Structure 1
Amino acid sequence: MKPMLPTLTFEAVKGDDWHHEVKYDGFRAILEWNKDGIFIKSRNEKPLGDLFPEIMQFLLDNKKTFLPYVPFILDGELVSLEDSFKANFSAIQIRGRMRAKDKILEKAHNRPCRLLVFDLLLLKGVSQVNKSYLERKTILTDFFSMCNLPLKPNERSKELIQLIPGTNDFPALWQQVVLSDGEGIVSKRNSYSYDAGKRSAGWLKFKNWKYVNCFIIKYEKSNGYFYAGVFDQHDHIIGIGQFLFGLKPDEKNALMQIIKNNKTDEDQNFIYVEPAICTEIKYLEMYDEQMREPHFHRFRFDLQPEKCTYQDFAQQRKNLPAEINITHPEKPLWTKPDIKKMDYIHFLQEVSPYLLPFLQDRILTVIRYPHGMLGEPFYQKNVPDYAPSFIETKQHEDIEYIVCNNLQSLLWLGNQLAFEFHIPFQTIHSKGPSEIVFDLDPPSAEGFHLAIKAALLIKEVLDGLSLTGYIKTSGSKGLQVYIPLPENQFTYDDTRLFTTFIAHYLITKDPDSFTIERLKKNRGNRLYVDYIQHAEGKTIIAPYSPRGKEQASVAAPLYWEEVDQTLQIGNYTIINMIERLKNTGDPFHSYFDSKVTQPFSPVLSFLKQEEKKIPKV
């Protein structure tokens, strides 16, 4: 069955007879389960099951749940989900091009994709296409509820089939889409049936455009496209893509005539012009350094070509929340690598889906660098008097801490030049630790191999105890091993038993490499195993937090197979972290799921029994 298609609109849809859904950037997919099997097909009816084995496996693993509803047909979008309102287009494109089975399986494991479902065509063999949108949505929501599937997209859920809900509150949904830099919204008329294979006025897509000022550099004869460019800092022209849509016939004809009358060169394919004609283009995002879905917006006769720079373009590439005013965007923060303030703000915006879950509901200590790496930093715990009203706070021991629960707060802190985000081991709602963390900090950078050795020994113990552990760099000179715990089940006295056990285990295994000696002068070149550091009131650098280090390093989550003697902390920086996430996924993607299944209680019971056997002195 061919899917129903939305019509593009440049005006936000208003009225009580519409509902609105987030539009995600992925592959349109129809899921059909009938007596012959399970089939996932693209809008052009190409099979997608082999490219996304994690979806097929999820369906098979939950076969008993789904069978009572077979045959059914669901309409949705296959996505690489970044957060509840945005999918990663680049990542899904990479998956779509893969053909090697082992590489596909590796991606499916490290960065599983999800099928986000928004419509129902068939259920228990009964067609639903003639029902209204609201009727179909109600039945679909009930189906998801009965199957215990997520009723909204969740990038950290292990359930890979998720519902895209509808709402009649366009402004609130649009605000969330803009905050997350999502693709846009599809507005659906309540009374419309499902028009299979048709582009309907009952579905209208309204996109989250970015805008760029650029100039025209050439015209392609064969297809009528105009090529756009900007100047780099050395006055070299950088091509950023080509456009055609959005031009009215008279605008296009006038533009073609101007180019022909002012051409500097011409060959079989192109007519070339000097930078002179400035335009404003709207587009979705950059992909392979070219604009995606560019549309002509207007001529900029008031603009000189030299004002169309890549620097300005880079600043315009991300829509920032309206509440955030970035001051001094060109301020240099790092020199090697060259990172300016706006670069840093964009990094925080892109890494936020991965960083914010670890800041959620935790009191925050930041280290601010008011002059970047060129000046002295200072710690900040108290919320400043000038903080905006959207900043959440929590009183703790006479200090009014910031609680960074959303993107606005994170970007505001970034504008305040907070480089480091340090959090306690529990949330503001926890009665005990939310995780155990081993901070493996060698005596010097030259001793990093000791941190690697300690981490791998800890991993052996965790595997032997069937505990799930995660590892990240500190972003400084060490490594940190995390053991997520269920909330409100354990005390710091409980976890101290385990950290003490691990510390003594490491010393027993290699006393020349590890020590629990408190005095630095007595440690020598051994790594100090600070099992006391995991305690109430202590803090640790958050996963994906930047560090105030010369190389702009990040406290980077790792896959365990990356932890060997070739590992280097300096390889994980603000410059390459987003690209790493796109290419390899998030090593901590299953972190919060593992909290629920972590079998720490049997381990703790054993340790308590062993403690009772130790004679009291």
Structure 2
Amino acid sequence: MKIATYNINGINGRLDILLRWLKEADPDIVCLQELKCENNRFPERALIEAGYNAIWQGQKSWNGVAILAKSEIKELRNDLPGDDNEFTHSRYIEAFINGIVIGCIYLPNGNPWPGPKFDYKLRWFQRLTDHASDLVGRDLPVILIGDYNVMPTDLDTYKPEKYVNNALFRPETKAAYKDLVEQGWTDAIRTLHPTARIYTFWDYLRDAYGRNAGLRLDHFLLNKKSADRLVSATVDKHVRGWKGSSDHAPVWIELSEESGGPSRRGNKPSLKVEKKSSQAEVAVPPTHDLNSLLKKAPKAKMPAKLQPMKATLVREPFDDSGWLYEIKWDGYRALAVVGDGNAELISRNNISFDQFHPITDALANWNAKAIIDGEIVVLGADGKSDFSAIQNWQRRKDGQLVYHVFDILWYDGRDLRGLQLTERKAILEAVLPADDLIRLSKAFAVNGIEFFHAAEKAGIEGIMAKKADSAYSAGDRSKEWLKVKVERRQEVVIGAFTRNAGTDKLFSALAIGVYENGVLRYIGKVGTGWSEKKQKEMMAEFKPLITDVCPFDVEPDVDEPSQFRPRRLGAKPFWLKPELVCEVNIAEITSDGKVRQASFKGMRRDKNPKEVILETPTETNQIVAEATEIPNPAIAMSKTIKPEASFLDADKDSQTVKVNGCPLTFNHLSKVYWPEDGITKRDMFNYYDQVAEYMVPYLKDRPMSLNRFPNGIHGPSFYQKNVKDKVPDCMSTMPHTNDKGEEKEYLVATNKASLLWMASLGCIEINPWFSRVQSPDNPDFCIIDLDPDKQHFDQVISAALEVKKVLDAMGVPAYPKTSGSTGMHIYIPLGAKYTYDQSQMFAKIIVTLVHKQIPEYTSLERMVKNRGGKMYLDFLQNRPDATIAGVYSLRPKPGATVSMPLTWDEVRPGLMMRHFTIYNSIARLRETGDLFKGVLGTGIDLKKTLTKAKEIEL
């Protein structure tokens, strides 16, 4: 594989030279710099005709970068992380091409030195270095390519003494480059030519090219996965001599197709997915037959109204021995409920798919009682699923209707959701009936990256990666099931169709949006992907929904020019009630939140418009690391369906209810507070209504700090402590002068009404004082707050166990709970017998002893910058007016996690925040009761405890 970089120095003025060189050199991938053209003037058509796809980030002058490739380009990012608004001369784009991550770089030279441009250059280098640290260790080939405007050594210039004060050769610049390389990158040219004076740039002045007065400014940095494949590197110096050429010459490297293997340039590799073991398909474990597997599952009645387990979208494929890989089918997700000669297919939105009666008829003949999970698809002649065909199947009957089944949740009186995926797959394979309409979707223990590329080559939508030992979390969006898409798809709500001036088409484009914080946000238009016949079908659906009211939160200019369409087309909007959902292919979401290169794929009648949110891919490595933690089987079995009990009417969006005799009004009940999970204000109120009997004892008679999130977890938040003249008459308050001398009135919680009134203000989390109004200066408990930085949660567990060891040696009882965010809280009962200062002093003694045991990853430094990335053992929370999430409090985090009390037996590796959420916490409490009761007990004898503390030798 041949990969090149070329600072073209004005692409439109030198397009003929670029095309001439592309034809001669025939590179597979090219990074271009200094485009010197705006985005809408990039010569995409000419490059496509030359056989190259392209992505680009342009600018009228100075710079701009592009990546060209003969194969498909998946754009990953179009700038470095971080902001720097002083100058905007640098450019960086990143793409995934043929299994390689390519970063294309352009950095201006930074002259004159000293000066603000040079300072900016160093700041940009630091951003690049920070980003590169996340890339260098990837289990994928990564190459950072382009014009760095750096001469790293004396060998990289014809005359070092001439450039002493030049920004290209300053010690600071060379040091920045050196720091980057020392992360583990390989400089391709310098590695293959360690002593050669190789140049890539010759100035236009004084016949620099003729005198070979050159500089090496263009570099390839390869991580280990790509460096292992490096075969050669050189400069096409002769191109610099072409008339009218750039002052840079093209530079290129060649990689072998396989790590450590010889170059096979000119031959496309045949992608073969190697099995990880002698049996790649998952089968019944040899030590268990069907009956023994079923006996491992608890007996249970068939559950009602289950929702399917959802997967998390990640950016790129990965390979890990603990995961299985499947095809991602392009159809309708459906749970099948089978029993007593009947069967029903149910969508994610609890809609019955009765139109696919051949499948339900076949399932009804299955002599079993079961709930299975799968995808309804229509296969074309090539055997691939066709999403557009499934929408028209009932009318046309084109293609082969198939239900691909990949999981089983319940079978013959046994709840299988707590079993490992491999066990459920084994049961499914053993019991699923043989029928051409009902097929087992195989899982493979293969190389995940190769499996993805095989899917890509075959034209399949994408793959699924599932943790082999994962339980089935009904209704959850799990990190143990991941999806990697070959094409980026996005479900959207249709808010309007538009018609351009002078057109004879039924409509020209669709105005589309997604829900964000309960409102429909416009994200652009889609104007392609349908036939004339399809337009007629769609228009028939549109007509009953036409309205004068714009459904978007802000009325968009649907005729707005863009960088890709600089002129107006006279587009007129026809607003629609937001009841229709469709699916589109997109190239990217731009920085202003609009879709780019959107193409219509089909209508989604199985989706609730209110649940359509922007699906943003997450970083693969982080998600895999979180999911590959040791599972806690006891906790995994506790996962249940979201509680359905409600004290609010389901059909009202605003309601006034008397609680403890206090009239409380709950507004905007359908407003989404947790958009990733589709959890609304109503869900939050229902949770606090149900948890109140457990939670109120820890709130009663305590002043409250109100942490308000009126627009959900991603909206702005603020603390409100003074509620003077703002509380209902049925609420209590406490006057208080804080340490700044400010007079305030705090809300004092007394009952469930107090809790629900706080929730009605948008208090997602509840923050009570440690002391009560009867003894405001004497806390009821002392708290040790374990606050991690970059530590794995298992290290938080280890630190908590060290705290317990210290407290056990003192004879002090302690009660742990998850913070619901990233850490843990450990409570010690004091019984309001001591001051805050005494409590803080005691906490400091504890954490000091703990820190002596685990100094390698803990810190007592209050300032974050002084902690060196270590976990903070926080004892300073023990003060008046402190804010910490109370027990049983929800947290404003994706997943709607809960700060949950634990037994010390549960504090062990594998524990994770997501084990305790709005979905399962009430069911857990009904099983465990209140584990925190001891916190409000009589409290320790601090004098005796301190005496014991002096005797401790750990």
Q: Give the alignment's TM-score, normalised by structure 1.
A: 0.46
Q: Which has the higher contact order (CA 8 A, sep 6+)?
A: 1
* Structure ranking higher in helix proportion: 1
